[in-house]
Each structure stands twice: as structure tokens, then as C-alpha cells.
């Protein structure tokens, strides 16, 4: 049985990806946009799987490790409530 990979072409068919990338495009130039982008992603998806963190990182031109760090270190009032790190590669 072959393992299906998460390719960008499949992700782009998901309307949630389009909603998130459009939001990021509108706010990309705002200072400190990474945290609001993660909050928007969580609003859209309900949690932050690593695949979504990769989308945010790619759209913002930031390393995944930086986005993961923001997602897991945010203060409680930042409203990041559920982060998935199960597939995050060891560094």
C-alpha cells in the first residue's frame, strides 16, 4: 500500500487553504503578522496541524521552526489552543 503524500496541488483544492492564503496575502506586510496568521489558521481549521504551519511559513517566507515556535510559545491570551507537532521533524 502506498503512502499518500500531502502535495500542494491537493492542498490547493481545499477551500480552507485558499481562505488562509488569501488572508495572509492581505495582511502579509503588517508587522508581527505571524501570530495573527496562526490565529486565523486555527479559526479556519480548529487546530494547527503541521501541514497548516507549513502553509503559514511558506506564505510568510519564514522557516517552519519559527512558526512552530510562535505557535507553541504564544501567551495564553493569544488564543492558540491546539497545536499538532507529531510530524515536525527533529532539529
Query: What averages of pLDDT result for each successive group of 10 residues across the chain (91 residues)?
Result: 47 87 97 95 94 97 96 65 52 46
- CA nearest neighbour of 25 among 13, 37, 39, 15: 37
- CA nearest neighbour of 43 among 23, 66, 29, 63: 23
pLDDT of residue 76: 58
pLDDT of residue 80: 56
For residue 76, give the DSSP letter: G
Q: pTM for this one?
A: 0.71
Amino acid at each position: 500500500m502506498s503512502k499518500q503524500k500531502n502535495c500542494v496541488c491537493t492542498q490547493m483544492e481545499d477551500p480552507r487553504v485558499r481562505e488562509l492564503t488569501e488572508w495572509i496575502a492581505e495582511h502579509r506586510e503588517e508587522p508581527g503578522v505571524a501570530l495573527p496568521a496562526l490565529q486565523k489558521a486555527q479559526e479556519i481549521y480548529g487546530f494547527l496541524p503541521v501541514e497548516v504551519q507549513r502553509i503559514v511559513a511558506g506564505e510568510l517566507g519564514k522557516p517552519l521552526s519559527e512558526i512552530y515556535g510562535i505557535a507553541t510559545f504564544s501567551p495564553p491570551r493569544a488564543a492558540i489552543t491546539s497545536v499538532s507537532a507529531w510530524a515536525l521533524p527533529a532539529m
